[in-house]
């Protein structure tokens, strides 16, 4: 049966007086800080490869590569869907019913968006080129309308809402066959 020498493990050399740090291996374990350039628009779970920054190789072998996994924190205003950013756009009932021009936050600062009259809750507006950076440009910003209803309307607001209700119009429940 043939096997490498247990003393030199086939290298042909034996360290007579190994140091206490590496114990004759020629490598020591220590912590290092590395700067990693994270590309703009990187997605959660992406891996960045740092060539030659990994574990040391054996004698005469270059070190391996270090792979860094990216964990992107949630943003307080924006969500993400691929290269597109999402944002919740709160509107008052009059803004949605009558139309309005509103400011929408983007990564580059607010932009003005024209809301057409009769905009329903849940409608999504696409603002091109205001999303996450990507190769060859940027994704889009998807602004979804949410109608804000006052929890405690003032006396005047209540009177106006009751007047609106009396003025008529079909109930949205009429489409379902109920009043």
Q: Are residues 107 and 145 in the same domain?
A: yes
Q: Are residues 85 and 139 in the same domain?
A: yes
39-69 exposure pattern, b = at least 16 Cβ within 10 A, e = fewer: eeeeeeeeeeeeeeeeeeeeeeeeeeebeee
Q: Are residues 83 and 147 in the same domain?
A: yes
CB atoms within 10 A of CB 34: 8
The pLDDT, as a whole number, for residue 36 is 92
Considering the domain boundaries, does residue 145 fall inside one?
yes
The pLDDT, as a whole number, for residue 121 is 93
The pLDDT, as a whole number, for residue 178 is 63
Which long-range contacts (C-beta less than 8 Å, at least 24 apart) are formed by 48-54? none
Q: Are residues 120 and 148 in the same domain?
A: yes
Q: Are residues 55 and 109 in the same domain?
A: no
Which residues span the domain enclosing 58? 42-73
The pLDDT, as a whole number, for residue 91 is 95
The pLDDT tens digits along the chain (179 residues) read: 888 887 777 777 777 777 877 776 667 778 889 999 998 888 889 999 999 998 887 767 888 999 999 998 889 999 999 889 999 999 998 899 999 999 999 999 999 999 999 999 999 999 999 998 888 889 999 999 999 988 899 999 899 888 888 887 666 666 776 65
CB atoms within 10 A of CB 143: 23
pTM of structure: 0.70
The pLDDT, as a whole number, for residue 127 is 96
CA atoms within 13 A on the CB side of 32: 10
Q: Are residues 140 and 108 in the same domain?
A: yes
Q: Are residues 121 and 93 in the same domain?
A: yes
The pLDDT, as a whole number, for residue 98 is 92
Residue pair 28/20 in contact by the 8 Å Cβ criterion: no
> What's the domain count of the chain?
2
The pLDDT, as a whole number, for residue 13 is 76
Q: Are residues 141 and 82 in the same domain?
A: yes
């Amino acid at each position: 049966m043939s096997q490498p020498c247990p003393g030199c493990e086939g290298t042909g050399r034996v360290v007579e007086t190994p140091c206490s740090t590496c114990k004759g291996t020629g490598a020591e374990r220590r912590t290092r800080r590395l700067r990693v350039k994270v590309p703009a628009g990187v997605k959660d779970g992406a891996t960045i490869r740092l060539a030659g920054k990994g574990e040391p190789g054996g004698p005469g072998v270059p070190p391996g590569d270090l792979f860094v996994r990216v964990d992107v924190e949630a943003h307080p205003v924006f969500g993400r869907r691929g290269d597109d950013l999402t944002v919740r756009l709160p509107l008052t009932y009059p803004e949605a019913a009558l139309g309005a021009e509103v400011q929408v936050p983007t990564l580059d600062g607010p932009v003005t968006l024209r809301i057409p009259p009769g905009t329903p809750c849940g409608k999504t507006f696409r603002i091109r080129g205001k999303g996450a950076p990507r190769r060859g440009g940027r994704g889009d910003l998807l602004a979804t309308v949410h109608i804000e209803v006052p929890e405690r309307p003032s006396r005047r607001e209540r009177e106006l809402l009751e007047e609106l209700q009396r003025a008529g119009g079909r109930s949205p429940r009429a489409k379902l066959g109920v009043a």
